[in-house]
Every structure is written in C-alpha cells, then in structure tokens.
C-alpha cells in the first residue's frame, strides 16, 4: 500500500523525472563508447550504424527520446515550482509534460523510421 503522500499525481511526476534521469545516466557511457569507436575504427562504426537501422534499435531510440523529453519537461516543472507562483493546475501541467514527452518521442520514431540511412560527406 502506498503512503497517502505517494498516491498523488505530482509524486509520480517526481518519480518519473528521477527514473528518466537514471535511465539517461545509464545510457551515456554506452553513447560515449560508440563515439569513441567512431574515432578509432571506421569499420566498427559502419557495422554499428548498419545495426542501428534495425527495428529494435529504433524502438530503443524512441525510449531514449521519451526519457529525454520526460526529463526536460520534468525539469521545467521543477523550475516552475521554484520560480513561479503555482496554482491547483499542477496535475494538469504534469500530465501535459508526460503527453508532450510521448508526442515528441513518437514524432522522432516516425521520422527515424521514414528516413533511410543518412549519408554524411565531408
């Protein structure tokens, strides 16, 4: 049974913000590893780029963009709590932040599924 103070919508917004931050913190070392591989070995990077065209990776990217958007909007909510006068609309704003995060992640997924591989020329 949840404590009464943890059965509030804004407590779930707080929890989602913390979980998204943790997810991003776990992701970043892997991201830096891949960037390091790109600098060291072009062939390995090419294999990773081909692998990243799979549907599973696209879904994982959707999750990553969702976490980024949730963390962004959660951070904006916290800034608003600190610096703006607040009203009873907090639940609606928290729900809007979650919906906005999901919409941004969906748009990213749609665009990434439609686009073929990006050809970068120097």
Residue scoring higher pLDDT (107 or 84): 107
**How many domains, the chain?**
1
Tell the residue number behind the tokens 């879904």, with chain if given. Answer: 59
**Domain assignment of residue 78, yes or no:** yes
**Domain assignment of residue 47, yes or no:** no
**Domain assignment of residue 19, yes or no:** yes
Q: Report the distance separating Cα 116 and Cα 15, nearest Å.
A: 36
**Domain assignment of residue 122, yes or no:** no
**Domain assignment of residue 3, yes or no:** no
The predicted model scores a pTM of: 0.60
Is residue 58 within 8 A of residue 111, CB to CB? The reply is: no
Q: What is the pLDDT of residues 36-88, one digit of tens each?
A: 877 888 888 888 888 888 888 888 888 888 888 888 888 887 787 777 776 66
Which residue range forms the structural domain that includes residue 97? 8-24+54-114
């Amino acid at each position: 049974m949840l404590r009464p103070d943890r059965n509030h919508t804004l407590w779930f917004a707080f929890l989602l913000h913390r979980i998204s931050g943790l997810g991003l913190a776990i992701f970043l070392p892997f991201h830096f590893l891949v960037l390091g591989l790109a600098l060291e070995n072009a062939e390995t990077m090419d294999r990773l780029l081909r692998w990243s065209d799979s549907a599973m990776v696209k879904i994982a990217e959707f999750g990553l963009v969702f976490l980024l958007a949730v963390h962004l909007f959660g951070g904006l909510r916290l800034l608003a709590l600190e610096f703006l006068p607040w009203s009873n609309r907090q639940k609606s704003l928290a729900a809007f932040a979650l919906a906005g995060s999901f919409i941004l992640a969906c748009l990213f997924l749609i665009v990434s599924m439609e686009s073929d591989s990006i050809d970068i020329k120097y």
